[in-house]
Structures are given as structure tokens and as C-alpha cells.
Amino acid sequence: MDHTRDNPLKRFSAFWIALLLVTAFGIACFILRPLTHGKVDAAYEMTGEDRLTIKADIDKVQADTLNVGALNRALEAKTKDLIKQPSAGNMPVPEAAPAPADKPADKPADKPADKPADKPAETPAE
């Protein structure tokens, strides 16, 4: 055995170097991960900037062409017409059914109706 090459210290250091080499791949991945994410986000941001510019242009053109005074006048006139007409809620309902009497408080609300167990609730269509 060549003791200059093979001794406990050499083996100990070789063990840690080998372990470091293996874990280095994982460490490298953790370091590289934010870099790859940053690149993807920048691409989306670049596209987003163009979209926002186009949207601003459209908003500006729409704002310029919109006549706010005329729109308000038209809305006021329509509102007055609607107030003059009677609404469906104010009209009497013909032959309305009397309101049901209050149930006793101790009766559970979700108690099922007494029916024979073998009788279906609804008769199926023949």
C-alpha cells in the first residue's frame, strides 16, 4: 500500500469532496432557479407593456368621442318617464291567497310530512 496516497486523512477528505460534488448539483439548481424564473417573467412584462399602451390609446379615443352632457340629458329624460309610469310593485294583485298562520315554535321546520313509507311522494308518469 502506498501510504502517501492511501491514509485515513486522504480517505476522509475524499469522502467530503465526493459528497460536496454530489450536493453541488442540487446547490447549483437552487442558484439557477431564480434566474430562469426572472427570464420568463420579463417576457410576460414586455408583452404586457404593449397591451397597456394599446389599452391607453383606446381609452383616450373613447373619452374624446364621448359627449357627457348629451348623455346626462338623455338619462334624465328617461328617468322622468320611468317615474311617471306606475311600477308592477304598486299595483294590487287580484285574488291574492291569505297569508298562512304561524306554526308552533316547538315544531321542527324540517320535519317530513307523515306519509306511508311505501308510498312514493310523487306518482311517476306511466
Partner 1 sequence: MAETTSTADSNGAALRASIDRSLRHPVMFFFTSGAAWLAVAIVLGLVASAKKHAPEFMTCCSWLDAGIVDAAHMSALIYGWGVQAAFGIIIWLMARLSRKECTNVGTILVAGHFWNATVAIGVICIMTGNGSGIPWMEFPSFVWPVLIFCFVLITIWSLIQFQVRDSGHVYVSQWYLLAGLLWFPWIAVTAYLFVFVFDGNPVMATGIAAWYKGTLFLLFFVPMALASAYYLAPKVTGRPVFSYDLALFGFWALAFLGPWAGMQKLVGAPIPQFLPYAGAAAMVLILIPAMSVGVNILKTVAGYGDVVAESPSLRFTASGVVLFVVYGFLSAALHLVPSMKMTQFSYSGYGLDILGLYGVFSLCAFGAVYFIVPRITRREWLSRRFIKWHFYLSLYGVVSIVICAIIGGVSQGQGIEDLSQPFGTMAERASQYGWGVTLAWGFLLIANLFFCLHLLLMWARLGRRSSHPTLLKAHHGESPHGPEGEIDNYGSASA
Residues making contact with partner 1 (CB under 8 A): 1-2, 5-7, 10-11, 14-15, 17-19, 21-22, 25-26, 29-30, 33, 36-37, 40
For residues 29 and 74, which CB has a smaller minimum distance to partner 1 in the complex? Answer: 29
Question: CB of 121 within 8 A of CB of 115?
Answer: yes
Q: How many CB atoms lie within 10 A of CB 91?
A: 8
CB 10, min distance to partner 1, A: 5
Give the three cell numbers for residue 18. Answer: 465526493
For residues 37 and 78, which CB has a smaller minimum distance to partner 1 in the complex? Answer: 37
CB 45, min distance to partner 1, A: 16
> What is the DSSP secondary-structure string of 83-104?
HHSPPGGGSPPTTPPPPPPPPP
Give the three cell numbers for residue 63. Answer: 373619452
CB 54, min distance to partner 1, A: 24
For residues 10 and 78, which CB has a smaller minimum distance to partner 1 in the complex? Answer: 10
Question: CB of 57 within 8 A of CB of 50?
Answer: no
